[in-house]
Chain A
Amino acid sequence: MKLERELMRGAGPTAVLHLLSSRPMYGYELAEALAKRTDGVLAMGQSTLYPMLYNLEAKGLIEPEWREGDSGRERKYYRLTGKGKTKLKTDLEHWDRLAGALASLGVLKGATA
């Protein structure tokens, strides 16, 4: 199941920032990680992923670097900037509060009112 566009627009950047918080990753790697680790819920095509990465880059939250990976192929790696870390921290807090609020309303499965 894929998320609706509006939900994806809110969750996608946070998910990408979160993935990049552990290590620099390139586009294909990010797409695979998002698809596999979320059972396809946050799976993004290239038409969504790359514009999102460029937007995050424009905002100064991530920065790119062309370098060769382990396979010897040249790839564009993205890593979190200081500003990106701060933004991720804020976003996670917001998501926590949102999840808590939805749980308190019984909207999320398994949550109690």
Chain B
Amino acid sequence: MSESAFNPWNWSVRHSPILRIGRWMAARLRPHAEAERLLAASGLPDTLRERIDSIVRRTRLWSDERADITRELIAHARDAVGNDPARSPGDIASDLGDTRTVARLLRRSVKRKRPWLWQARHRTLQAVCAVMILLIMSYGVLFVRFNTASPEISKNYIAELNQRNAGYNSDEQALPAIESLWLAYMREDLRLAGGRQHAPLPESGQSQDEPHNSAEQPSAFESMPKMNATDRGYQEFVAWMDSIRPILDRAQEAAARPTLGGLFSDRSERIEIVPQEIWIHRPLPPSPDPRDQENLVGVLLPWLGHSRTAARVLCADAVLAARAGEASRAKERLTAVLQLAGLHGQEPFLISNLVGLAIEAVGQDTLLRITDEHPDLFSETDLTELCHTLASEHQRARHLDFASERMMIEDVLQRGFTDDGSGDGRLTRQGMRQLEQFASPEDFGPTFDLPLVREGAAPYVGPVYELTIASRAEHRALYHRLLSIAEQAAQPGAANMAGVAPGGPFDRAFASEVENDPRFRLLEILLPGVNRLPATVHQSDARTGAACVALASQIHHRRTGQWPRAIKELVPQLVPTAPEDPFDPGHPLRLAVREGRLIIYSVGTDGDDDRATPPAVGRTEDARDLMKRFAGLGVSPIANDPVSDGDWILYPPTD
């Protein structure tokens, strides 16, 4: 090879990376340029040249591919012209066929020759695009489906609840008098707080019931109904109680009425009794159209706090009456408290029922303290009547209204899901808003991690979110099934507790079907705590039973000079049946006499009789303890727990 044939400098320039990149970019920018150049230099008649140009241009192939096809078609055309001069360029051009068809065939076949890496990338891109298109189309369908769906709110549950009170006139409703007593308490609290530094005022919706905090020693007002004669301001407190006696009398009379009489509504007005200091949230009549109402979860029960306060004041007056030797007044006040508890047991909403049990516990505790401190205050007749009141009002107070809870989920579902006419349906935008509301309540309660539920995002996130949420029928079925277990567990008889014990049917179903299944987020928010309610009821059964036994034992003691050694000595003359020990199903509560005093006790969480010895630390009767006990009936699941190693002392009352 001579030097003139190969010039390294020229070769280097021609093959330099910069020029190669330049050529690549030029080919990218003008992919048809080389084909045009070849055609221009081909010398073919215009007809043929234009036809080939048109075909190659339509292939939209890479620059070098177009050039290759162009060269081949030019060669073919030259041969055709050269070998058959009689044929016109038009005839030869017609051999090329339909421009669009031949371009498409050429394009397909040439692309098959491209490198496998390009083929792989091309196929992948095609697949990705196909998937994307499919997803976008699916989302579009879901978007339209979700955003055009709406719930069918047909049942007015608030009206149904209010119908219960429709038959009662105002003289048969207890709440006005209870509210008056609460108001008297609040005014006195405000007066006493006048010389103290006020705590920050509670936000709207928060309870105002508790007195303002004070770093000083608790006053008689603050410690009621357990106040001692030596408490600060005791005489002033007694004088105040005397001053509100008419109000107490009216509250006492009201507690015997057939209904509390509260208006159930999702709307209320704030009425300032004392500006910036005392106010009442008074329910306003709900809209007659259920579509204009909030769900039942949003129904306000502002009187629950009033009732608890009124019960405490009534109990305090019973204690003062006992100290004054006024058995009749003490009995009437205590009876009123127990009746108030019974009234709350008849209310819809579990929260009302729980407040009733709390009021009952305060009343029972006060009664036992009075009989303990003043054993001769009540006559046998008084004691017998109080025992009957305890039993009869407990039958009302121990009621847990699961029916209203079922109503609540039905209302939530009708407001959040579509209705296909057969009880099923799917999530709607309104349902998303409900989830948002439940997951992040404004004023209270825990927040739940629902990352996709955000304000304003419902129309866009909802179509996908809907796919991850169980249907209306599934929600209903699971909710009712779990509620039935809790309902059964609350039935009389401690052995029924097994249904809600740790590891029991409720626990297993909740863990596997609610907590571990994100489709039931709604129930995860609405259900927690339901399984603990039955334990509260069984504990109140035990407290009531113990209170009745304590009163009956006093009668027995008066008659015989002895405390009974076992409850069976009181049955059936003084108590109809021996109350069951919830921690020892099938067996009665136990009695013991120590230093001349009667002790009524349960064996407690550990299930064994510690001879009326309370645990060294803590308590052994929490609802959770009761549930733990039932985790293994017949065994002692937490025998080595120092907190549970002891008995639950039900009488005498302890602080």
Chain A interfacial positions (CB closer than 8 Å to B) = 26-29, 31-32, 45-48, 50-55, 57-58, 66, 73-76
The answer to whether B98 and A47 touch across the interface, beta carbons within 8 angstroms, is yes
A46 close to B71 (CB less than 8 A): no
Residue B102 interfacial (CB < 8 Å): yes
Query: Who on chain A is nearest to B106 by CB?
Result: A51
- In the complex the two chains form, is B75's CB within 8 Å of A51's CB? no
A-B pairs with beta carbons under 8 Å apart, 14 shown: A26-B79, A27-B72, A28-B79, A45-B95, A46-B76, A46-B97, A46-B102, A47-B98, A50-B69, A50-B72, A50-B73, A50-B106, A57-B113, A75-B79
| B 52-84 to A, binary, CB cutoff 8 A, 1 in contact else 0 | 000000000000000011011101101110010
- Which chain A positions have C-beta within 8 A of B7? none
Q: Are A55 and B95 in contact (CB under 8 A)?
A: no
The residue in chain B whose Cβ has the minimal distance to the Cβ of A57 is B113
Residues of B near A66 (CB, < 8 A) are: 71
CB-nearest residue of chain A to B95:
A45
| Interchain CB contact under 8 A, B76 and A73 | no
Is A58 a contact partner of B75 (Cβ separation < 8 A)?
no
B61 to chain A, nearest CB (A): 11
- Which 4 pairs, one residue from A and one from B, show the smallest C-beta to C-beta distance? A47-B97, A54-B109, A47-B102, A58-B112
- Taking a contact as CB atoms under 8 Å apart, the answer to whether B75 and A76 are in contact is yes
Give Cα A52–Cα B112 distance, bound, in whole angstroms: 11
Contact A55 B112 (CB under 8 A): yes
In the complex, what residue of chain B is closest to A54 when comparing beta carbons?
B109
Contact, CB under 8 Å: B73 / A74: no
Q: A55 near B109 (CB under 8 angstroms)?
A: yes
Contact (A73, B78) CB under 8 Å given A47-B96, A50-B72? yes
Interface size on B, residues (CB 8 A): 24
Number of A-B contacts (CB under 8 A): 65
Which residue of the partner chain, among A29, A51, A73, contacts B108 with CB atoms under 8 Å?
A: A51
Q: How far is the CA of A54 from the CA of B107 in the complex (A)?
A: 10
The reply on B101 being an interface residue by CB < 8 A is yes
Q: Please, which residues of chain B bring their CB within 8 A of the CB of A76?
A: 68, 71-72, 75
What chain B residues lie within 8 Å of A58 (beta carbons)?
109, 112-113
Q: Are A51 and B109 in contact (CB under 8 A)?
A: yes
Q: Check if B75 sits within 8 Å of A74, measured CB to CB.
A: yes
Q: How far is the CB of A94 from chain B (nearest CB, A)?
A: 23
Residues in B whose Cβ lies below 8 Å from that of A53: 109
Is B110 an interface residue, CB under 8 A from the partner?
yes
How far is A61 from B275 in the complex, measured between Cα atoms in Å? 98
Q: How far is the CB of A36 from chain B (nearest CB, A)?
A: 12
* Other-chain residue from A28, A47, A52, A55 in contact with B75 (beta carbon distance below 8 A): A28
List the A side residues contacting B101 at CB < 8 Å: 47
Quote the shortest CB–CB distance from B224 to chain A (angstroms). 97
Shortest CB–CB separation between residue A45 and chain B, in angstroms? 5
Asked whether A54 lies within 8 Å of B113 as measured between CB atoms, the reply is yes
For B92, give the chain A residue with the smallest CB separation.
Answer: A46
**Highest count of chain B CB atoms <10 Å: which of A32, A47, A53:** A47
Q: How far is the CA of A76 from the CA of B71 in the complex (A)?
A: 9
Q: How close is B89's CB to chain A, nearest CB, in angstroms? A: 14
- Taking a contact as CB atoms under 8 Å apart, the answer to whether A46 and B95 are in contact is yes
Which B residues are CB-close (under 8 A) to A75? 75, 79
Partner of A45, one of B68, B78, B96, B110: B96
